[in-house]
Structure 1
Amino acid sequence: MKITALLVLKCMPEGADPIILANACDVSHFGFFQRSSVREFIVFVSRTVAKRTPPGQRQSVQHEEYKVHSYNRNGLCVIGFMDDHYPVRSAFSLLNQVIEFSVSRFVLSFNIIQSYWLQYWCFQLFASSFLSTILEGARD
């Protein structure tokens, strides 16, 4: 059971690309020269899945040996990249914890973010450290 990445995105109306608010990836099990490509792939798939997940819905998408789980709550979408052996119920429980953390601490910030601003650095800093802590715990 492995968690490769957790991302928090704000889904934009009218088909615009979702904005990545926080991103934590553990690509240590990939080769050194593959890591940047894997990170780019994670960002691309995350934006695509977040854009296609309707508000209030959860969904899982299979890609090779990974499952991409997503949960969209009122335009705030959490994406998790897990391996096939990770239980679905546990994955959505984790995504729910991440979204609760995000909403409880940064609810006003989400409403004002309209594009790639530097103003969301506060959320990026705290949420990325929170997500990294979760990934560290999953690695052990």
Structure 2
Amino acid sequence: MVKLFAISVIRRPTEDPVGGRCVTLKASFDLASFGFFQRASVQEFLSFSSTTIVERTGLATRQSVKEQEYLCHVYVRGDGLGAVLVSDADYPPRVAHTLLTKVLDDVSSKVEWKMANAESLKNYKEIDIVLARYQDPKQADALTKIQAELDETKIIMHNTIEAVLERGEKLDDLVAKSDNLSAQSKMFYKTAKKTNSCCNF
């Protein structure tokens, strides 16, 4: 099942990247799939992991880090603004990185993030909306939606061919009986079938 668990916007120091501390400016969590008593611990661990990953990711770098059945997608811009998206292993990385770029662009356009802290972004609600919207990558991302529609079309076409074969009809018989095919097309079909049959074991 495709699932997003958390997204965090984190400021990373650019002057002293090794010794400096990262600051979480805003985070949003969807922990409904965890037990009620686990949620606080899970949120704490996700926050810790996100900060740690940003601290260890170079400036102007994207990466996806696997931890058990989870993926942490991270993007740290050259100016030190970073974001982490925690998802399950099935979530498409391309969509995750598109989301990270959108969030960072939005934050930097609406907030003076270099001087901001968690308190100054407490009213920034767009991150919660984005986390909810991107739960289904097909709805949030046009390219993924088109790919899913193409996959559905492929499955429908495949099922239609299977249905014809299940009724006992054979393609050879249909070709032989068809008035819509010229003698040349029928000969081409027979030749192609004979050529292809020599390659099958």
| TM-score, normalisation: structure 2 | 0.61
% of aligned pairs identical?
A: 33
1:111 is displaced (CA, Å) by: 2.6
* One-letter amino acid of the counterpart of residue 70, structure 2: Y
Q: Secondary structure at the match of 2:90?
A: coil
Please give the alpha-carbon distance, in whole angstroms, between the structure 2 residues aligned to 1:97 and 1:37.
Answer: 28
How many residues are treated as equivalent by the alignment?
A: 131
Q: 2:121 aligns with which of 120, 123, 132?
A: 123
Structure with a larger share of its residues in helix: 2
Aligned letter for 1:132?
D
SS at match of 1:29: coil
Structure (1 or 2) with the larger CA radius of gyration: 2
The equivalent residue for 1:6 is 7
Mapped contact 1:15–1:51 kept (Cα < 8 A) = no
C-alpha contact (below 8 Å) 1:9/1:22 kept by paired residues: yes
Quote how far apart the aligned CAs of 1:132 are. 0.9
The aligned counterpart of 1:101 is 106
Deviations 1:71-93 (A, max 9, x none): 00110011000111111111100
Q: Which amino acid aligns with 2:128?
A: S
The superposition leaves residues 33-86 of structure 1 with CA deviations (integer Å, 9 ceiling, x where unpaired) of 110100110111011000011110001110111100000011001100011111
Aligned ranges 1:1-140 → 2 under 5 Å: 1-12=2-13, 13=16, 14-73=18-77, 74-106=79-111, 109-113=112-116, 121-126=119-124, 129-139=125-135
Within 2, Cα distance between the matches of 1:111 and 1:133? 23
Q: What do you get for the CA RMSD once the two structures are aligned? A: 1.5
5+ residue gaps, structure 1: none
* Structure 2 unaligned regions, length at least 5: 137-201
Deviation, structure 1 residue 139:
4.2
**Cα distance in 1, alignment partners of residues 86 and 102 from structure 2:** 15
CA contact under 8 A between 1:4 and 1:81: conserved in structure 2?
yes
Counterpart CA distance in 2 for 1:10 and 1:124 is 15
**Bigger strand share:** 1
- The answer (yes or no) to whether the contact 2:107–2:113 under 8 Å persists in 1 is no
Greater RCO (CA < 8 Å, at least 6 residues apart): 1
Q: Structure 1 residue 138: deviation in Å?
A: 3.4
| 1:76 counterpart letter in structure 2 | L
Partners of 1:139 and 1:105 lie apart in 2 by: 24
Offset, 1:137: 1.9
TM-score by length of 1: 0.86
Q: Is the 1:8–1:79 contact (alpha carbons within 8 Å) kept by the matching residues of 2?
A: yes
